[in-house]
Amino acid sequence: MVLVVGVIVALFFTKPAQDFTKRVQLITFYNKLTKYEKSFNYEGIYELLSPDYKRHLSIEDFLAQRSQTTKPYSVNFIVHSYKVDGNKGILDRTIITCKTSNCAGLDRNEVRAYKEYIYINGKWYVPEDNTVLCLRDEPYSMPPEFERAISFIIQRLSQSPKATYLDENFQSIKNCLYITYSPEVEKYDAEGLFYFDENSTNDKLNVLVSNRYSASDDIVTALLLIHEITHAYIFASGIDIDCYQNEAEAFTNELYLLTGFNQAERDILNAKIEFYPSPQTDSFYNMIKNINRMKGTPYEDILQLVKSDPYYQKQCSGN
């Protein structure tokens, strides 16, 4: 009986003790990693990569990749939280990169993101892909038409010959998308009826939709929703691009989604544009018509169109 109780007590206290030890080790590991990053010690960083990562990337290739990047004036790290879950460690951290000693305006860049590390045989390592965009295990509740549209977007992007990895990118933030109807959309002077709220957090990416849009069909909803999901993904991943580029990425992804449509879905969209025009379908049709007259890549042409549009000139003037 005493032996059984002892075993139960040992089991009860072992996991919290292990998690505490792993957390202390994770803090020590991350301090070493950031020390190497600040001093540009790339050999040291390589030693902290996971065994699987090293099998796919030799130290020579790793050093060559790093040598091609421009060294900033300084790099600083702020850790907001550490979390250990079994053999997985999650950090919520901000990197502040300064191009000059001034470290202000365009010379300063701050990116906050979750990073994942793995625990193997008593040590922490950097896995090959350690960016975590969403920590939620389940999606937020939302109107069924938005659930259908998101599922449709991810499925069609996976079938698009142009949209490399886009389905995986959007899948990575799917559970953190919070899409609701709201009468507040109009006050933002949004060109469409969807609006990505920049007061979002990575765990709650707010997309507001005009109540007037509740009667729309899934195909048109998906075309407009992918635009705002693109903004949400750029926000969550901390990609450093300007306002015009952000919009150009969103419009380009609308085209990539279209390339994944089957013939029946294209016929439905064409019928809506021809027989049931709306500001949203007209805008999409005019964009395609303009691009067909231009000579660059879709992204280059769209970026040019966005920069010449008075609406986006006003929207991006302060960015």
Mean of all residue pLDDT scores within the chain = 87
What DSSP character marks residue 141? P
Q: Whole-angstrom Cα distance, residue 302 to residue 72?
A: 31
| pLDDT value of position 61 | 96
Query: Cα 69 vs. chain centroid, distance in angstroms?
Result: 22
Say whether 138 sits in a helix, a strand or coil: coil
| pLDDT value of position 192 | 53
- Residue spans per domain, the chain: 2-132, 144-315
CATH superfamily of 2-132: NTF2-like; domain 1 (3.10.450.100)
Q: Say which residues have a Cβ less than 8 Å from residue 239's Cβ, sequence separation at least 6.
A: none
* 0.85 exceeded by pTM: no
The residues of the chain scoring below 50 in pLDDT are 2-13
Return the number of other C-beta atoms located less than 10 Å from residue 267's C-beta: 11
Q: Whole-angstrom Cα distance, residue 231 to residue 250?
A: 7
**Shortest CA distance to 134 belongs to which of 200, 211, 87, 70?**
200
Return the number of other C-beta atoms located less than 10 Å from residue 2's C-beta: 6
pLDDT digits (tens, 9 = 90+) for 250-277: 999 999 999 899 999 999 888 988 888 7
Query: 74-85 and 108-120 as β-strands: parallel, antiparallel, unpaired?
Result: unpaired
